[in-house]
Structure 1
Amino acid sequence: MKTIKNMAIIGAGVAGLALAIFARKQGIHVTLFERSKCLSSIGAGVTLWPNATFVMKQLGLIDEVIHSGGQPCFMHQFNRQGRQTNTFDIGALNAMCEHPTVNILRRDLIKILGDALEMMGATILFNHTIKAEDITQLKQQFDLVVGSDGRMHSAARASLYKDTMQPQYQGFINIIGLYQMNQSLCDHTIHEYRENGERFGIVPVTKQHGYWAAAWHCEMDDSRTLTSWFDEMHQRFRHWPSKIQKVLNNYDPNSLKRLFVHDLEPLPYWHNGNLIIIGDAAHAPLPTSGQGASQALEDAWHLSQLLNHNQSLDAVLKKFYSTRIDKTTQAQLIGRQVAQQIFHSTSSAPPTLPSLSTDQIRKLYMQGLSERATS
């Protein structure tokens, strides 16, 4: 779209950085507003499924991602006694999608995106907290204002909905962190341990290091200290299999984060005038969907493609919503279904991996993605 010459992006996370790179490739001047003093490394790691690595290829950064990450071959699921209950062949999915799956630390992904953007001349204003009341001025200053400012405190979403659309707590806590040890723990295999409303996931990046998450059903209580939550985690999982004990004995204490997990209801619209929200600000799914980063990257690619169309801005932003809403809603619903099964099911049977065939997952992940659209 030739009328977009100056773009403001609120939030320099995965979605914001990726969109900024695509926009700079199109010659659009980009200004990012980031509340932190530098690019944030909050979060442990992400799995970039084939739909995400498709986008990284379009960004020209797939080689850097593969070099910095690890490529899992399988996902194995176990009960708390360590008996394997299910498996998923990630390699077969990759072959069908013709794109890899990559596990990567979030700090490394952000650095790859940030370094690429720095070379392209975008302006990043750090220590700039944008509030809902600031949005009107930004809309006057810029041709397009994009809110990619996260699930919990999105000023852009608050501006669109006057604070009526708030994230909803889904009844479980996640404690995440990084591990490093001098031995192979889960070489090329994601390990998921689930039973009785508790879950522990181990995601290798290399043979010696990776990231993990411990989760269980609980009431949200901000009055408790972080130390008390970490102590509870150790108590809950102290009798679980040896791989979990190795992680709990070898994690980096400085990497620990406690998250009361929220998501969003599907929203009826994402834009008003020249303001639009993308990524977690628009459609935050639960981590049990496995698609948070992947859908954020897809947003950046789809929006950049539509900005090339010779249509009015309103038509473009409506088209973006209609293109994305079904797929992002599916990710949200899958995340809730899996979380319900893990954390709220009354069945004594261990929860299983989603009962979709590999081909069904391929169709879901690669829906709407075609390199022909980039030409």
Structure 2
Amino acid sequence: MSSAKHIAIIGAGVAGLALAIFARKQGIKVTLFERSNSFSTIGAGVTLWPNATFVLKQLGLLDDFTQYGGLPVAMRQCDKQGTQRGEFNIQTLNSLCGFPTISILRRDLIKILAERLEKLDATVHFNQTINTQDIAQLKDKFDLVVGCDGRMNSKAREYMYKVPIPTKYHGFINIIGTCEIDLNPFEQTIHDFRDNNERFGIVPVANQCCYWAAAWPSDLDNTRPIEQWFEEMHERFQDWPKTVQQVLNNYNPRSLKRIFVHDIDPLPYWHKENLIIIGDAAHASLPTSGQGASQALEDVWHLALLFKTECSLNVMLKKLYETRIHKTSSAQNIGRLIAQHIFQQSPHSTTDAPSISADQLSQLYMQGLDLTQTK
């Protein structure tokens, strides 16, 4: 069995909670450090594609997520007049993969994971801001330290590389939120409106609720009052289709967040001695990839598999990187290509959007997810 008998996890987001659950189910002691005073629910919602629900199945949580989430059947792309420009059949993708796609509010995603972990006797410390000096102490105290501390200011990543790794701003903002709305007109379909370098996406979930994102090109300006960004959003999208107006007229104001969208370049390594980074800390991708949470969950599953082996810790962590780097880098690249097409097109460009078939996507998503590895 793994030499990691007691692990420290920095960050109680999707990756941190899922890893803690897998580890406790294997009898590994877990101490989790979270900087907030409760489990984090930052973000509006998440679409969990079949590669993510594969992992949820292994966690024994797929039924819980299905109960709280929506089951989108298609993704429909339209222009600002509401004219349909394309449609992707999610049910076909699900059938090819053998697992469903689930849309869920982030608060419910975290709630499900946290409630399962509470039954598994892990130690959780809230209000614990971990800095690079703390990480040195954790490395001495624990067999393994896992940084799940996010894309922007990962102290685990900074400790590993001796300097902060620069994040890349890609020239557009997202304003995200949630909204209670009549879901019948949405027909369980994700709506993706794009026009003139602007985008408004609406993802139906369940229980008459959706999450959404408005995006457009912008300079990175942290001095501008947040309310002005919200006002600009209403001005930019005031003439867009009825479904967009329904969201703009009914969203929950407390759910609004403005995000200057960053990612990071692929890293040459994810571990040093008994410290490893996973999820956004290791390979943050743009939201246009649709794969942030899914790739984090894949990291967790592969690491949990390696816990079951007789490998030395160094070999185990190196193997995780070698197993995952190609797929995570592909997700990052896809996110960048799609963002470039949406937000950097000239007004008269005739370049087609990057396209991929359900068959190609299923092969990409399910790559490396082999149940025979669990035996």
Please give the range of the TM-score, normalised by the shorter of the 2 chains.
over 0.9
* Cα distance change on mapping 1:23 and 1:350 into 2, 3 Å: farther
2:338 is paired with a residue whose SS is helix
Query: 1:135 maps to which residue?
Result: 135
What is the TM-score normalised by the length of structure 2? 0.98
Is residue 278 of structure 2 the alignment partner of residue 286 of structure 1?
no
Tell me which moved more, 192-201 or 159-168: 159-168
Q: Answer whether contact 1:46 1:105 (CA < 8 A) is retained.
A: yes
2:186 is paired with a residue whose SS is coil
* Cα distance change on mapping 1:182 and 1:346 into 2, 3 Å: closer
Query: 1:374 maps to which residue?
Result: 374
Letter in 1 for 2:204: P
Aligned 1:1-375 pairs, distance under 5 A = 1-182=1-182, 184-206=184-206, 208-346=208-346, 348=348, 354-375=354-375
1:335 is paired with a residue whose SS is helix
Q: Answer whether contact 2:168 2:262 (CA < 8 A) is retained.
A: yes
Letter in 1 for 2:122: A
Using the TM superposition, give the Cα deviation of residue 351 of structure 1 relative to its aligned residue in structure 2, in angstroms. 7.5
Per-residue deviation, residues 170-227 of structure 1 (Å, max 9, x unmatched): 1100000001024634131000001111000000002621100000000000001110
Per-residue deviation, residues 118-150 of structure 1 (Å, max 9, x unmatched): 000011100000011211100000000000000
1:172 is paired with a residue whose SS is strand
Letter in 2 for 1:169: Y
Task: Note the residue ranges of structure 2 that are not aligned, 5 or more in a row.
Answer: none
Letter in 2 for 1:228: Q
* Cα distance change on mapping 1:183 and 1:316 into 2, 3 Å: closer
Task: Note the residue ranges of structure 1 that are not aligned, 5 or more in a row.
Answer: none
Cα distance in 2, alignment partners of residues 208 and 351 from structure 1: 37
Q: Answer whether contact 2:18 2:300 (CA < 8 A) is retained.
A: yes
Q: Answer whether contact 2:77 2:192 (CA < 8 A) is retained.
A: yes
Tell me which moved more, 119-128 or 346-355: 346-355
Paired-residue identity, %? 60
Cα distance in 1, alignment partners of residues 170 and 162 from structure 2: 23
Cα distance in 2, alignment partners of residues 356 and 207 from structure 1: 31
Letter in 1 for 2:11: G
Using the TM superposition, give the Cα deviation of residue 349 of structure 1 relative to its aligned residue in structure 2, in angstroms. 5.1
C-alpha RMSD of the superposition: 1.2
What is the TM-score normalised by the length of structure 1? 0.98
Cα distance in 2, alignment partners of residues 350 and 183 from structure 1: 34
Cα distance in 1, alignment partners of residues 351 and 140 from structure 2: 51
Q: Answer whether contact 2:68 2:206 (CA < 8 A) is retained.
A: no
1:249 is paired with a residue whose SS is helix
Cα distance in 2, alignment partners of residues 218 and 198 from structure 1: 11
Cα distance in 2, alignment partners of residues 183 and 265 from structure 1: 38
Using the TM superposition, give the Cα deviation of residue 23 of structure 1 relative to its aligned residue in structure 2, in angstroms. 0.4
Q: Answer whether contact 1:77 1:85 (CA < 8 A) is retained.
A: yes
Q: Answer whether contact 2:2 2:311 (CA < 8 A) is retained.
A: no
